[in-house]
Amino acid sequence: MLLIETDGKALLAEHGVAVPRAMAATDPTIGDIRDKAQGVSLPGDGPWMVKAQVPVGGRGKAGGVVRCDTPQEASAAVRRLLGQRLKGHRVDVCLIEQSVTGVERYLAVMVDPASYGLRVIYGAQGGVDVEQSAITQSRLSPPHPAGVAETLAELIAIEPEHWRSHIMATGRRLADLVLQRELALAEINPLFVSDDGCVAGDAKLVVDLSAVERQPRIAALLEARSQTYVDANRKLAEGFDYVEIDPDGEIGLVTTGAGLSMMLIDELAARGLKPLNFCDIRTGQMRGSPARVMRVLEWITARPSLRAVLVSVFAGITDLGEFGTLLATGVDQTPALRVPVVARLVGRGATEAQRILADRHPGMLVTEDLEEALSSVAAIAGKSRA
Amino acid sequence: MITSLSRDTPVIVQGITGRMGRTHATLMRAYGTNIVGGTSSRTDTKEAAGVPVFANCRAAVLATGAVVSVAMAPPLETLGAVEEALAAGIRLIVTVAEGIPLHDAMRIGRAVRRAGATWIGGSTPGLAIPGEIKLGFLPDVCLRPGPFGIMSKSGTLSYECGYRLVQAGLGQSIWVGVGGDQVKGVRFADLLPVFFSDPRTHAIILVGEVGGNEEEECAALLRRLSGRKPVYALIAGREAKEGVSMGHAGALVLGEAGSLASKTQCLTAAGARVFGSIESLIETCVRDLT
For chain B, positions 4-43, list CB contacts with chain A under 8 A. Answer: 23-24, 27
Q: What is the mean pLDDT of residues A101-110?
A: 93
> Looking at the complex, does the CB of residue B80 fall below 8 Å from at least one CB of chain A?
no
Q: Which of A66, A98, A130 is the last residue of a domain?
A: A98
Task: Give the DSSP letter of residue A3.
Answer: P
Phi first, then psi, for residue A74 (nearest 5°) are -65, -45
- Does one domain contain both A107 and A93? no
A279, A314, A369, A375, best to mutate vs chain B, most B CBs in 10 Å:
A314
Is the minimum CB–CB distance between B109 and chain A shorter than 8 Å? Answer: yes
pTM: 0.93
Sheet holding B126-129, edge to edge: B133-136, B126-129, B172-177, B145-152, B203-209, B231-236, B273-275
Q: Is A300 on the interface with B (CB under 8 A)?
A: no
Q: Are residues A287 and A337 in the same domain?
A: yes
Count interface pairs A-B at CB distance under 8 A. Answer: 190
Pairwise pLDDT comparison (B275 vs B289), residue with the higher score: B275
Residue A364 · residue A343 · CB < 8 Å: yes
Cite the active site residues of B.
Answer: 248
Q: Does A261 reach chain B within 8 Å, measured CB to CB?
A: yes
Pairwise CA distance, residues B86 & B72, whole Å: 15
A68 pairs with which residues across the strands?
A48
Q: Find chain B residues with C-beta within 8 A of A241's C-beta.
A: 246-247
Whether the Cβ atoms of residue B54 and residue B85 lie closer than 8 Å to each other? no
Query: Alpha-carbon distance B260 to A270, whole Å?
Result: 15
Give the single-character DSSP code of A98.
E
CATH number reported for the structural domain that contains residue A94 in this entry: 3.30.1490.20
pLDDT at A317: 75
pLDDT of A221-274, one tens digit each?
999 999 889 889 999 999 899 999 999 999 999 999 999 999 999 999 999 999
Model confidence pLDDT, tens digit, residues B45-97: 899 999 999 999 999 999 999 999 999 999 999 999 999 999 999 999 999 99
For residue A36, name the pLDDT band (cuts at 50, 70, 90). Answer: very low
Q: In this predicted complex, what is the ipTM? A: 0.92
What's chain A's length in residues? 386
Q: What is the mean pLDDT of residues B19-36?
A: 96
Q: Specify whether A253 is located in the same domain as A341.
A: yes
Would you say residue A32 has pLDDT above 60?
Answer: no
Range of the domain at A179: 103-209
Q: Crossing angle for the helix pair A258-270 and B155-167, nearest 10 degrees?
A: 70
| Whole-number Å distance between alpha carbons of B74 and A3 | 26
- Domains of chain B, CATH where assigned: 11-121 (3.40.50.720), 138-289 (3.40.50.261)
Contacts of A296 in chain B (CB under 8 A): none
Instruction: Answer yes or no: is A224 within a domain.
Output: no
A56 and chain B in contact, CB less than 8 A = yes
Separation of alpha carbons B242 and A98, rounded Å: 28
Cβ-Cβ contacts under 8 Å, B121 against chain A? none
Q: What is the pLDDT of residues B215-252, one digit of tens each?
A: 999 999 999 997 689 999 999 998 887 766 776 766 66
Shared domain for A249 and A372, answered yes or no, is: yes
**Closest residue of B to A128, CA-based?**
B255
Question: According to the model, what pLDDT value does residue A30 have?
Answer: 65
Q: Is the pLDDT confidence value at A134 over 60?
A: no
- Measure B74 CA to nearest chain A CA, in Å: 12
CATH at residue A197: 3.30.470.20
B175 half-sphere exposure, CB direction, 13 A CA radius: 36
Of A75, A98, A121, which one is at a domain's C-terminal end?
A98
Q: How many CB atoms lie within 10 A of CB A216?
A: 10
- Can you tell me the mean pLDDT for B102-129? 97
| Model pLDDT, residue A77 | 94
A115 plus A188 within the same structural domain: yes
The alpha-carbon gap from B114 to the nearest alpha carbon of chain A, in Å, equals: 12
**Does residue A44 sit in the same domain as residue A86?**
yes
Cα(B177)–Cα(B2) distance, integer angstroms = 12
Q: Does A347 contact chain B (CB < 8 Å)?
A: yes
The sign of the torsion formed by the CA atoms of A286, A291, A294, A299 equals negative
Same domain, A340 and A295: yes
Does residue A259 lie within any of the structural domains? yes
Q: How many domains does chain A have?
A: 3
Q: Which residues of A touch B104 (CB under 8 A)?
A: 211
The answer to whether residues A156 and A169 belong to one domain is yes
Answer yes or no: do A141 and A94 share one domain.
no
The Cβ of residue B198 has, within 10 Å, a number of other Cβ atoms equal to 17
DSSP A31: G
Span A33-59, average pLDDT:
78
Rounded Cα distance, B13 and B35, in Å: 7
Q: What pLDDT band is residue A133 in, cutting at 50, 70 and 90?
A: low
Cis omega (within 30 of 0) for bond into B125: no
Smallest CA–CA distance, residue A278 to chain B, in Å, is 7
**Contacts of A332 by beta carbon, 8 Å cutoff, 6+ apart:** A360
Q: What is the dihedral of CA A8, A10, A11, A15, to 10 degrees?
A: 140
Examine the pLDDT at A37 and tell me if it is beyond 50.
no
Nearest chain B residue to A269 by CA: give it.
Answer: B239
Name the average pLDDT for chain A.
91
Q: Would the CA dihedral through A213, A215, A216, A218 be positive or negative? A: negative
Q: Residue B156: is its pLDDT beyond 70?
A: yes
* Chain B residues whose beta carbon lies within 8 Å of the beta carbon of residue A263: 154, 157, 160, 234, 236, 278
Non-local CB neighbours of A26 within 8 Å, separated by 6+ positions: A82, A92, A93, A94
At A276-323, the pLDDT tens digits run 999 999 988 898 999 999 999 999 999 999 999 999 999 877 889 999
Residues shown for chain B: 290
Over chain B, what is the mean pLDDT?
94
Contact predicate A313/A256, CB 8 Å? yes
Contact yes or no for B247 and A267 at CB 8 A:
no
Q: Which candidate from B217, B242, B247 shows the least CB-CB separation from A88?
A: B242
Secondary structure (H, E, C), chain B = CCCCCCCCCCEEEECCCCHHHHHHHHHHHHHCCCEEEEECCCCCCCEECCEEEECCHHHHHHHHCCCEEEECCCHHHHHHHHHHHHHCCCCEEEECCCCCCHHHHHHHHHHHHHHCCEEEECCCCEEEECCCEEEECCCHHHCCEEEEEEEECCHHHHHHHHHHHHHCCCCEEEEEECCCCCCCCCCHHHHHHHHHHCCCCCEEEEEEECCCCHHHHHHHHHHHCCCCCCEEEEEECCCCCCCCCCCCCCCCCECCECCHHHHHHHHHHCCCEEECCHHHHHHHHHHHHC
* A58 and B CB contact within 8 Å: yes
Q: How confident is the model at residue A39 (pLDDT cuts 50, 70, 90)?
A: low
A368 touching chain B per CB within 8 A: no
